Structure 1
Amino acid sequence: MKNVTAVFDIGKTNKKFFLFDKDFKEVHKEYISFDEIEDEDGHPTENLIALQKWLKDVFNRILKAEQFKVKAINFSTYGASFVHIDEEGNPVTPLYNYTKALPEDIITSFFEEYGPKEDFLKQTGCADLSMLNSGLQLYWLKKTKPEVFNKIKYSLHLPQYLSYVFTGVPLSEYTSIGCHTALWDYQAKDYHPWVYKEGLNKILPPIVSTETSINMNYNGNRIKIGVGIHDSSAALLPYVRSINKKFVLISTGTWSIAFNPFTENPISEDTNDRDAINYMRINGKPVKASRLFLGNEYKIQVEKLNKRYGVDEDYHRKVKFNYDTYLEIVKDFKHAFKWEGLIDEDMPEQTQLAYTEYDHAYHQLMTELVLLQIKCVKKAIGNDDITRLYVDGGFSDNDLYIKLLSHYFRDKKLRTTQASLGSALGAAISISDTRLNSKFLKKNYALKKHVPFIIGD
């Protein structure tokens, strides 16, 4: 029987289950998705009962499997989500979706009591005010649904709730507390005073390091059960553990998020910048991050280009970087794209493309998107001395994106990785005692170096 670590990696759409061997190679994977249900206001939300049943069913089946011996299990999930449980451990509310809006009067009364707003946002490293700041959900419940609030014994962040399903031990850990929850005072390195004033500390379980695990006898098996980890922090962990120099990780997809885990100045000075966000590492150290709605915009604009130039929907994947085309574009460079999901002061009122060739228009698109990406990365770097960039996710194999990024960041070393297992692998590593070295990324993540193209005369 092969010794394995099991990981449940719970995204909003896909719920995945992995088994990793001692070298962190994937030896089994399965996934499922559930239809969302609605909360009491008709807002879509996670089907907790179905999720919990699936977790138990899958795990019990794997424990009976002849070929694997599960030695440890951990959980990585999306953040900004609480499960509020009663004395018996049963949820007392739906899992409120972080896309749900908080009533304006709640936000107003909160700042009347705990403002000024600007200072509060700086202290807690938040840039938005809604359910995405999950701590405010507790304030909202206390003020508007006191009868429900009074039933709460513990409020568990989603990764810790999944761990609780298996251990019955309620805990909190840094990566979940630190993901824009409005609960943590980054300067004081403790819960913000408002948390104590509202008595919320009584329902927030004890804080432990993310590397904590509980040794249990589970259905007759000795298993090490992790406390769970927030997915963004989990995706960062294999890099932090295996690279001994400072770096920024650009994790690309629908959102492109630049993470700086070595920051000296975690909090953005600009509290109006909704794309400056903070996370915490597994030991409670801050991570400065900046996000760009890159993949979303790319998808919208590529669909428009496909229609306009009459090419098939996969054509964009075949376009390779062409130096001469790029030179033509930058010679008298003008911004040509009107973005739909991004705001940029340089964009025109209307998209204006004078090119007859798709490839030219695509080069223009990628140049403009990369210029936005550069601003985003520079925000994450701030004044820190960082010379290495790692890119993973969907854009790591986009030829134009990588060549342009390495061109504009000529003073930095650029590497790409293929990290399709990102957060799941991070969850496995966080509860393992294995020390990673610099060869880990090469072996497990298809690490590739990139050199800037040579500029002609």
Structure 2
Amino acid sequence: MSQTVAVLDIGKTNVKLSLFDQGRLLWEKSTSNRILPGPPYPHEDVDSAWAFFVGALSEAARAHEIGALVPTAHGAAGALIGASDLALPVMDYEFPEVEQIEPDYAKIRPPFSESLSPKLPAGLNLGRQLACQKWRCPDLFVQAKHFLTYPQYWAWRLTGVVASEITSLGAHTDLWEPRQGRASSLVKGLGIGGLIPPLRRAFDPLGPIKPDIAAATSLAPETQVFCGVHDSNASLLPYLISREGPFTLLSTGTWVILMCVGLSLGQLDALDDTLANVNVLGQPTACGRFMGGREYAVIAGDGGNPDLAAIERVIASGAMALPCFSGQGGPYARTKGVIRGEVAARDRTALATLYCALISDLMLTRMGATNGDLIIEGTFAGNLVFCQALGTLRPKQRVFAAQDAAGTARGAAMLAHWPPAYPIAAPTPVPAVSIAGLGAYRDAWTARINLIAR
């Protein structure tokens, strides 16, 4: 059987198919992830995504012999499936009206001490989505036979096999107890225990693709599908198996996820949007999150990355971006972002870079992540000044950049040959620089945000 692995990567913004052979990217194709307006609520356009994957697999199979498929997806979506199809649409986690159920949901939500899952806006807590679907769409909900977290929904479409998996169940869903390794009290409170399939490991094969998919894509009928993984945990995999803790991975894209391996869970605080995810080995991992990619885009405008001179101009000007520019994620999600002072249009990217570095530094400090290397992967790894600013702010920690746009998918591909026998590429050390005035700028910025009520 071929060693080539195809990864179905379902993000908030894009869906992508990538092919890897022993960690080497062979082929990829992506398209936008669409949200449909409803009824009964805004939801993922799973049929368009599925059509894309079938077409992309067919195209890729003409050039490469594919031996395995692995799905990975974000952690704020799940699928209620009936006898043969969705019982309800897959809710868009940014649907704000889900918060209307909060008074009732608060009565059954587990305390943070149990779930280590903070109260998040809209549908970012998957448990709140389920409660909304059950209480607002009872006629459809009663048709559900199984509840699948999002990677496992795509595995089910490929194989017809239902499974649960801990990295997705443990991703700020309110449905899991990370310390105990079991379902939280919310599962009983919602009466959904019978909908959750047995646990499988992310690297477990679920079976071969269904015959109709083999026929539609020209894949071999014996092509294996693996259970799949939460996307941030996929990004963590190369480092989880190649280095000892403590270390921190900043997985950056639409969201910045700070994953602190080897860190105590004792300083996690629901008000800071810090939480525990669960890695593929079942170990709780202290995490923080903010919507850094989206906030960067709002502040920067046209985008791009700044140079060091632009950073120093902004620092000298005293202009500051104060949180929050996305309305979700991080310690100040409920406050409205504002820019204080004057900043030239050409320096907006520098202002955005400083903002994201300062928020990252603040969250790491509050979590107690003061030791070990900092590894930056994803979008911000290509922003050298972001990496250098974070290193200047945290001089006792070494900073590395993994400039790999396919990092999440590459990590997911490892699951098809777990543990991988091939060498793992090391991230690149970021040279330390001196950024004039950054320490005083941080002090002034911190003083201002300390006036913001959380």
TM-score bin (small chain): 0.7 to 0.9
Structure-2 change in CA distance of 1:334 and 1:33 (3 Å): closer
Structure-2 change in CA distance of 1:172 and 1:2 (3 Å): closer
1:120 matched residue in structure 2: 111
How far, CA to CA, are the matches of 1:216 and 1:425 in structure 2?
21
Q: Tell whether 2:143 aligns with 1:151.
A: yes
How far, CA to CA, are the matches of 2:337 and 2:175 in structure 1?
40
How far, CA to CA, are the matches of 2:333 and 2:51 in structure 1?
45
- SS of alignment partner, residue 208 of structure 1: coil
Q: Tell whether 2:409 aligns with 1:424.
A: yes
Q: Tell whether 2:68 aligns with 1:72.
A: yes
1:12 matched residue in structure 2: 12
**1:22-421, aligned counterparts within 5 Å?**
23-33=22-32, 35-41=34-40, 43-60=41-58, 62-63=60-61, 65=62, 67-87=63-83, 89-104=84-99, 106-112=101-107, 114=108, 120-129=111-120, 130-216=122-208, 219=214, 221-265=221-265, 268=268, 270-273=269-272, 275-303=273-301, 317=305, 319-322=306-309, 326=312, 329=315, 334=318, 336-338=320-322, 341=325, 343=332, 351-353=340-342, 366-367=353-354, 369-380=356-367, 382=368, 386-421=371-406
How far, CA to CA, are the matches of 1:94 and 1:6 in structure 2?
26
How far, CA to CA, are the matches of 1:34 and 1:402 in structure 2?
29
Amino acid at match of 2:357: V
- Conserved in 2, the CA contact under 8 Å of 1:266 and 1:288? no
- Conserved in 1, the CA contact under 8 Å of 2:9 and 2:17? yes
- Conserved in 2, the CA contact under 8 Å of 1:242 and 1:441? no
How far, CA to CA, are the matches of 1:5 and 1:280 in structure 2?
24
Structure-2 change in CA distance of 1:293 and 1:71 (3 Å): closer
Structure 1's unaligned 5+ residue stretches are 304-312
In the TM superposition, residue 137 of structure 1 has moved relative to its aligned partner by 2.5
How far, CA to CA, are the matches of 1:235 and 1:3 in structure 2?
20
- Conserved in 1, the CA contact under 8 Å of 2:204 and 2:226? yes
How far, CA to CA, are the matches of 2:403 and 2:300 in structure 1?
23
- Conserved in 2, the CA contact under 8 Å of 1:175 and 1:233? yes
- Conserved in 2, the CA contact under 8 Å of 1:247 and 1:260? yes
In the TM superposition, residue 136 of structure 1 has moved relative to its aligned partner by 2.5
Amino acid at match of 2:105: F
Amino acid at match of 2:394: F
Structure-2 change in CA distance of 1:427 and 1:369 (3 Å): closer
- Conserved in 2, the CA contact under 8 Å of 1:266 and 1:287? no
1:310 matched residue in structure 2: none
2:428 matched residue in structure 1: 448
In the TM superposition, residue 286 of structure 1 has moved relative to its aligned partner by 1.3
Structure-2 change in CA distance of 1:432 and 1:334 (3 Å): same
In the TM superposition, residue 335 of structure 1 has moved relative to its aligned partner by 5.8
Per mean C-alpha deviation after superposition, the further-off stretch among 282-291 and 125-134 is: 125-134
- Conserved in 2, the CA contact under 8 Å of 1:267 and 1:278? no
Structure 2's unaligned 5+ residue stretches are 215-219, 327-331, 437-454
2:444 matched residue in structure 1: none
Per mean C-alpha deviation after superposition, the further-off stretch among 409-418 and 143-152 is: 143-152
In the TM superposition, residue 455 of structure 1 has moved relative to its aligned partner by 8.8
- Conserved in 1, the CA contact under 8 Å of 2:125 and 2:173? yes
Structure-2 change in CA distance of 1:368 and 1:57 (3 Å): closer
TM-score after normalising by structure 2:
0.82
Structure-2 change in CA distance of 1:344 and 1:211 (3 Å): closer
Per mean C-alpha deviation after superposition, the further-off stretch among 392-401 and 225-234 is: 392-401
Q: How many aligned residue pairs are there?
A: 422
Structure-2 change in CA distance of 1:148 and 1:392 (3 Å): same
Per mean C-alpha deviation after superposition, the further-off stretch among 419-428 and 393-402 is: 393-402
TM-score after normalising by structure 1:
0.81
Structure-2 change in CA distance of 1:351 and 1:26 (3 Å): same
How far, CA to CA, are the matches of 2:412 and 2:8 in structure 1?
9
Structure-2 change in CA distance of 1:138 and 1:300 (3 Å): closer
Amino acid at match of 2:177: D
In the TM superposition, residue 177 of structure 1 has moved relative to its aligned partner by 0.2
In the TM superposition, residue 259 of structure 1 has moved relative to its aligned partner by 1.1
Amino acid at match of 1:201: G
How far, CA to CA, are the matches of 2:382 and 2:194 in structure 1?
48
- SS of alignment partner, residue 241 of structure 2: helix
Amino acid at match of 1:139: A
How far, CA to CA, are the matches of 1:44 and 1:412 in structure 2?
43
Structure-2 change in CA distance of 1:434 and 1:69 (3 Å): farther
How far, CA to CA, are the matches of 2:417 and 2:393 in structure 1?
38
How far, CA to CA, are the matches of 1:328 and 1:57 in structure 2?
47
The CA deviation string for residues 150-175 of structure 1, in whole angstroms up to 9 with x for no partner, is: 21110111210110112111000011
In the TM superposition, residue 34 of structure 1 has moved relative to its aligned partner by 5.5
The CA deviation string for residues 196-239 of structure 1, in whole angstroms up to 9 with x for no partner, is: 24431101111111111134375453222101211111111112
- SS of alignment partner, residue 275 of structure 2: strand
The CA deviation string for residues 303-337 of structure 1, in whole angstroms up to 9 with x for no partner, is: 3xxxxxxxxx67x64x53249x849947xx95644
Structure-2 change in CA distance of 1:83 and 1:351 (3 Å): same
Amino acid at match of 2:383: N
Structure-2 change in CA distance of 1:199 and 1:352 (3 Å): closer
Instruction: Work out which of the residue numbers 403, 407, 418 in structure 2 matches 1:433.
Output: 418
How far, CA to CA, are the matches of 1:365 and 1:142 in structure 2?
40
- Conserved in 2, the CA contact under 8 Å of 1:335 and 1:348? no
Amino acid at match of 1:235: S
Larger radius of gyration: 1
